[in-house]
Amino acid sequence: MSVNGTSEMITINLDGHEVEVPKGMNAIEAAKLHGKEIPHYCYHPKLSIAGNCRMCLIEMGMPMRDRGSGEPILDDNGIQKIGWSPKPVIGCATDVSPGMHLRTDSKSVKEARNGVTEFLLINHPLDCPICDQAGECRLQEFSADHGRGYSRFIEDKNVKPKRTVLGPRVTLDDERCILCSRCVRFSQEVAKDDVLGFVDRGTYSTLTCYPGKELANNYSLNTVDICPVGALTSTDFRFKMRVWFLKRTNSICTESSVGANTTVWSREGKIYRITPRRNDAVNDTWMTDSGRDLFKPYESDNRLTHYTVDGVHKSPEVTAKAAADILAAGSVAIIASAHSTVEEQFLLREIAQETEASVSLVKHEGDGDGILLSEDRSPNMRGALLNGLIADLPADDLSSLASQIAAGTVKTLLIVNEGLERLGLSESHLSQVKVIYLGAFANAVSQNAEVVIPSLSVFEKDGSFVNQNFRLQKFFSAVPGPRGLISESGFLAMVVAGLANEQARSFGIAQLWDKIGQCDGVFHGLNWQKIPDEGLALDAGAIADLNFVETKNLKYNPASPKLVEIDSSGI
Amino acid sequence: MEEQRLIFKHIDAPGYTHDIDCYLKHGGYEQLKKAVTMKPEDICAEVTASGVRGRGGAGFPAGVKWKFLDRKSGKPIYLICNADESEPGTFKDRQIIHKDPHQLIEGMLCSAFAIQAQLAFIYIRGEFFEGYRILEEAIEEARAKNLLGDNILGSGYSCDIIVHRGAGAYICGEETGLIESLEGNRANPRIKPPYFPAALGLYQCPTIVNNVETLCDVKHIIEMGGEAFSKIGTPGNTGTRIWCVSGHVQKPGYYEFPCAALTLGELIHDVCGGLQPGRKLKAVIPGGSSSKILRADERFKGKLKDGTEFDWGIEDIPMDFDSLAAVGSMSGSGGVIIMDDSTDMVEALANINYFYAHESCGQCTPCREGVPWMRKVTARMCAGEAREEDADLLNDIADQIAGRTICAFGEAAAWPVQSFIAKFKDEFVEKAKAQASRRKEGKPAATETTLI
């Protein structure tokens, strides 16, 4: 089955209405397509079917046929009879087939849900007032929707461990666990780190790690995300904030070229957590644990917070003019960054063209894990290529830069977000040239720079990245940056205006995209509004044939980098 | 009444031992020799013609089960003998294993040949230490005589049998739970669809799981032919059944009779020596603890499958699959539990609930949470805290379990509760009233119980 509608459509009868659904889809997803919710706990569209929660019980019937002849059996009105299954079936394991009849809100279905809800609650601690999951808890929601509202249970509840430390980032409350096994299946099937399992039997079944192991893999926090109740909690987030106070902002993970779609949860300018956002073409519903911590460095004291020219705090406008003046002198080398957004890279290219500067780029690489952490540890290498900022993949080192400085052919350096070591330079090299530094953190380069331009984090600005599959994805500002800072694209636009001796005027990202969309190339005809929330697959042309560093991972195949295998079993 | 033994023919006979020499002396392995010269599909046809129904509990026709086998997959086919006999009240399979293991091995090899399985397993209940040892010994004896292993009797057909011990869980008797356990996992039953053993069984290969007694029947079907076998008993209820009688009778034990050859009354009075003097029959659980209880003073009226009407008292019920199903219970695994008027029905149900709550695998919600809840309710009732509304509550909980679970354990645990409440609700209410009045008199509410 594919997302682009090539799958065969069949007709089923859903609660008395004939509807079209893709063949082979399960009943939960088929009903969802037509606005009917079949409640479920253990079913997850990206995991194998367990069928253990029994919440998705529905009635299923097939048109009756004579066993011997295969002829349809008709009723008195000449309509084929429906043979209803004597027992309710689970929606998650019931794949639709032509003519199938489903009842998702009949009396017996409601009774079944009511029964399951009552059973799940009898041994549940009912500690919603102190539970982190409250507000995003399936058990809480479905109890309100399908429960009886009072308890018939007067016996003693089971007692289980309340705060099992499963690993460095996950803490388990076993009393809240409904034993849906999502976390167990995730560990086996996605993280490929089989450490979780149940011990004991029956009502005393308890989730735990295998002896001597811990849930320490880089995907452990996904188990917290998919836990339908408050059993698995993030040790970092636990007891910090009620989820309904948090603002959700769509963002993109900058950890690697995978570009996992994320949601940033913030309140009053402070980020509390980052969770994955479903995108079947990029990250399914997962993200790395390490990617969730990326907002923390920006809370450090090492952050650059002021525009400075020759060590003196200046306004952005004055700083931009000073930078333009230095650049206008020529002999410029730009050390750009694959961490910059598409928009910033576009403006840097304009600056490079205006000043006839040479542009190079430092690559950041590490080991890939074959899942959602690729070898290229920058979010936007392909953006730099598509923008024409660089023509080829960056070289292993910038050894020529030092010799160019020594030879006097480079007199000005515009460095984006790099330290001395990665540049292959020493402080004495910097003393021979004028340095414009654009970055978020203070380092040896910023300390020796004539002009320092503090940059905003991905959480503090709007922009877009192009991921490993040439998917253009946009992100939005979740929290304000340090007081007085404007986005780099706004600042660089002022530099461009200064170089052209135009009146600098600030404009937003939409206007900037109007300009990007006018250029030839892959971005032609695009504008900010045209980039959908789920991203836009670009046709990279010849650039796709470059020898990229990524090896096979969840959604990337080096053999056909543009094709993404999408299992859209649950759209 | 005289027993008419087929499977138990030699069991307990004087001088009959479980070694292979004794078995061969009594005509053993002749059917295997015959089977390997037959066409496998002919054996399957004989088994279908015999009408033999599964002896493990569900009573599903074995020949039909074999027909479901996915033979086109190209994957190996496995035969599994379900020797996890753990339904309370049932003790027939262990007699076969202990006293006539070669009959089982011969039956298995004939069946394995019929379905063309190259490897067969005996999944034996963990508590059967002695049975395990005997089976291992018997297999080695058979192997030494080339009755098992490579190129059996020079026929070109090879089949081996592996004995696997369970670890003490009732749920391992459920066929998909058994398969999971055999694969080395927790015995969590699988969801059906898609995991029907005949298509996706052991190691995702086509698999047939049959009860010990059913597999022994196959040997006799080959011996006498499917047609002749089907003449034993009545149509649809062919062959013999081994009734394991326990409870308040003078001579509890195992008794083999053709299906429908005797009534429940004859079984109790003529075969088992009747009740203890001065006692009256109160109830019978006819097919292992999970089958629905029958009340002694009930009249059972209705129609059989073939249309004949019946009007029976409890002692008139013929002992076969269809009659026991027609009166609202089942012949199950053949475990007949007799209760006389000294039985406290609340305590009896508390005992059954204790068992099922302890044995629930914990995989799916209704069974995991519902069955222990029923256990807690009945235990509380016995402990002196019974409420008049508890009977309805118990029935409600059972209704919420039955039919909504992954495997048939949900029904197995719910049926006793549903039937006890349906037939003895007055005793549950009475218990609450009696406890209340004792409490009012300042006496302890609970009377002495014998709960485990």
Chain B, 112 to 131: residues with Cβ < 8 Å from chain A are none
Nearest Cβ partner for A115 among B169, B363, B366: B366
Mutation target vs A (from B353, B367, B369, B378; most A CBs, 10 A cutoff): B369
**Cβ separation of A54 and B365 shorter than 8 Å?**
yes
**Biggest alpha carbon distance in chain B?**
81
**Which residue in chain B is spatially nearest to A42 when comparing CA positions?**
B364
**Cβ separation of A119 and B362 shorter than 8 Å?**
no
Q: Establish how many alpha carbons lie within 13 A of residue A3's alpha carbon, considering only the half-sphere containing its beta carbon.
A: 11
* Contact between A339 and A458 (Cβ < 8 Å): no
**Cβ separation of A53 and B364 shorter than 8 Å?**
yes
The rounded distance, in Å, linking the Cα atoms of B202 and B204 is 5
Please indicate if any CB of chain A lies within 8 Å of the CB of B382: no
Higher pLDDT, B274 or A562: B274
At A565 the pLDDT is 55
**Cβ separation of A178 and B400 shorter than 8 Å?**
no
Q: What are the residue ranges of CATH 3.30.70.20 in chain A?
A: 126-298
Buried b (16+ CB within 10 A) or exposed e, B371-385: bbbbbbbbbbbbebb
| C-alpha angle B275-B280-B282 in degrees, rounded to nearest 5 | 105
**Which residue in chain B is spatially nearest to A115 when comparing CA positions?**
B400
The rounded distance, in Å, linking the Cα atoms of B80 and B335 is 22
Nearest Cβ partner for B368 among A50, A156, A179: A179
Token pair 């029907």 is at which residue?
B196
Buried b (16+ CB within 10 A) or exposed e, A41-61: bbbbbbbebbbbbbbbbbbbb
Nearest Cβ partner for B361 among A122, A123, A202: A202
Higher pLDDT, B147 or A425: B147
Chain B, 184 to 203: residues with Cβ < 8 Å from chain A are 186, 188, 191, 193-194
Q: What is the CATH number of domain A308-538?
A: 3.40.50.740
The rounded distance, in Å, linking the Cα atoms of A379 and B243 is 73
Q: Is the pLDDT reported for residue A120 higher than 70?
A: yes
Q: What are the residue ranges of CATH 3.40.50.740 in chain A?
A: 308-538
At A497 the pLDDT is 93
CA A418 to mean position of chain CA atoms: 25
For residues A342-363, give the mean pLDDT.
94
Collect all residues of chain B within an 8 Å Cβ-Cβ radius of residue A94: 193
Collect all residues of chain B within an 8 Å Cβ-Cβ radius of residue A50: 191
At B307 the pLDDT is 87
What residue spans of B167-267 are helical by DSSP H? Answer: 175-182, 197-200, 212-224, 226-231, 264-266
Please indicate if any CB of chain A lies within 8 Å of the CB of B360: yes
**Which residue in chain A is spatially nearest to B363 when comparing CA positions?**
A52
Q: Is the pLDDT reported for residue A298 higher than 50?
A: yes
Please indicate if any CB of chain A lies within 8 Å of the CB of B362: yes
Q: Is the pLDDT reported for residue A563 higher than 70?
A: no
DSSP A83-144: EE-SS-EEGGG-B--TT-EEESSSHHHHHHHHHHHHHHHHTS---GGG-TTTTS-HHHHHHH
What is the nearest CA distance from B237 to chain A, expressed in angstroms? 23
The rounded distance, in Å, linking the Cα atoms of A328 and A320 is 12
The rounded distance, in Å, linking the Cα atoms of B6 and B81 is 19
Q: Is the pLDDT reported for residue A571 higher than 50?
A: no
**Cβ separation of A119 and B365 shorter than 8 Å?**
yes
Q: What are the residue ranges of CATH 3.10.20.740 in chain A?
A: 9-105
At A1 the pLDDT is 40
Higher pLDDT, B418 or A543: B418
**Cβ separation of B169 and A201 shorter than 8 Å?**
yes
**Cβ separation of A87 and B404 shorter than 8 Å?**
yes
- Percentage above 90 pLDDT, chain A: 85
What is the nearest CA distance from A53 to chain B, expressed in angstroms? 5
Q: Is the pLDDT reported for residue A2 higher than 50?
A: no
Nearest Cβ partner for A52 among B364, B372, B400: B364
Mutation target vs B (from A49, A53, A54; most B CBs, 10 A cutoff): A54
At B440 the pLDDT is 94
For residues A173-179, give the mean pLDDT.
97
Residues linked to residue B234 through DSSP beta bridges, in sequence order: B237
Contacting B with CB below 8 Å, chain A residues are 49-55, 57, 86-88, 90, 93-94, 111-112, 115-116, 118-120, 122-123, 152-153, 155-156, 158, 178-179, 198, 200-205
**Cβ separation of B373 and A55 shorter than 8 Å?**
no
| C-alpha angle B245-B251-B257 in degrees, rounded to nearest 5 | 50
The rounded distance, in Å, linking the Cα atoms of B237 and B52 is 8
Q: Which fold does the domain A9-105 belong to in CATH?
A: Ubiquitin-like (UB roll) (3.10.20)
Closest listed residue to residue B120, CA positions, set B215, B248, B12: B215
ipTM higher than the 0.90 cut: yes
What is the pLDDT confidence band of residue A3, given thresholds at 50, 70 and 90? very low
First to last CA, chain B: 35
pLDDT, one tens digit per residue, over A263-292 is: 999 999 999 999 999 999 999 999 999 999
What three-state secondary structure class fits B100? coil
CB pairs under 8 A between A and B: 98
Q: What domains, with CATH codes, occur in chain B?
A: 20-231 (3.40.50.11540), 237-340 (3.10.20.600), 345-440 (1.20.1440.230)
The rounded distance, in Å, linking the Cα atoms of A223 and A216 is 11
The rounded distance, in Å, linking the Cα atoms of A188 and B289 is 38
What is the nearest CA distance from B354 to chain A, expressed in angstroms? 12
pLDDT, one tens digit per residue, over A46-60 is: 999 999 999 999 999
* Contact between B286 and B324 (Cβ < 8 Å): yes
Please indicate if any CB of chain A lies within 8 Å of the CB of B34: no
Nearest Cβ partner for A203 among B188, B372, B380: B372
pLDDT, one tens digit per residue, over A136-162 is: 999 999 999 999 999 999 999 999 999
At B212 the pLDDT is 96
Collect all residues of chain A within an 8 Å Cβ-Cβ radius of residue B399: 115
pLDDT, one tens digit per residue, over A500-516 is: 988 877 678 999 999 99
Which residues, at least 6 apart from A159, have a Cβ–Cβ distance to it below 8 Å? A175
pLDDT, one tens digit per residue, over B279-336 is: 999 999 999 999 999 999 999 999 988 889 999 999 999 999 999 999 999 999 999 9
At A4 the pLDDT is 47
Collect all residues of chain A within an 8 Å Cβ-Cβ radius of residue B364: 51-54
Collect all residues of chain A within an 8 Å Cβ-Cβ radius of residue B388: none
Collect all residues of chain A within an 8 Å Cβ-Cβ radius of residue B373: 119, 122, 153, 155
**Tokens, residue B57:** 């509990």
- pTM for the model stands at 0.93
Residue type, A132: D
At A567 the pLDDT is 54
**Which residue in chain B is spatially nearest to A58 when comparing CA positions?**
B404
Collect all residues of chain B within an 8 Å Cβ-Cβ radius of residue A205: 362, 368
The rounded distance, in Å, linking the Cα atoms of A6 and A550 is 29
The rounded distance, in Å, linking the Cα atoms of B350 and B446 is 14
Collect all residues of chain B within an 8 Å Cβ-Cβ radius of residue A54: 364-366, 404-406
At A424 the pLDDT is 82
Element (H, E) at A513: helix A509-518
Token pair 């065969």 is at which residue?
A8
CA A272 to mean position of chain CA atoms: 16
Buried b (16+ CB within 10 A) or exposed e, A360-399: bbbbbeeebbebbbbbbbbbbbbbbbbbbbbeebbeeebe
Collect all residues of chain B within an 8 Å Cβ-Cβ radius of residue A57: 404
Cβ atoms within 10 Å of A21's Cβ, excluding its own: 23
**Cβ separation of A88 and B403 shorter than 8 Å?**
yes
At A561 the pLDDT is 65
pLDDT, one tens digit per residue, over A454-477 is: 999 999 999 999 999 999 999 999
Residue B122's alpha-carbon distances to A290, B52, B82, B109, in angstroms, are: 49, 20, 6, 12
For residues A426-452, give the mean pLDDT.
93
Q: Which fold does the domain A126-298 belong to in CATH?
A: Alpha-Beta Plaits (3.30.70)
What is the pLDDT confidence band of residue A6, given thresholds at 50, 70 and 90? low
Per-residue pLDDT of chain B in tens (452 residues, 90 and over written 9): 889 999 999 999 999 999 999 999 999 999 999 999 999 999 999 999 999 999 988 899 999 999 999 999 999 999 999 999 999 999 999 999 999 999 999 999 999 999 999 999 999 999 999 999 999 999 999 999 999 999 999 999 999 999 999 998 999 999 999 999 999 999 999 999 899 999 999 999 999 999 999 999 999 999 999 999 999 999 999 999 999 999 999 999 999 999 999 999 999 999 999 999 999 999 999 999 999 999 999 999 999 888 899 999 999 999 999 999 999 999 999 999 999 999 999 999 999 999 999 999 999 999 999 999 999 999 999 999 999 999 999 999 999 999 999 999 999 999 999 999 999 999 999 999 999 999 999 998 888 766 54
For residues A96-109, give the mean pLDDT.
96
The rounded distance, in Å, linking the Cα atoms of A176 and A379 is 38
At A190 the pLDDT is 96
**What 8-state DSSP symbol labels residue B381?**
I
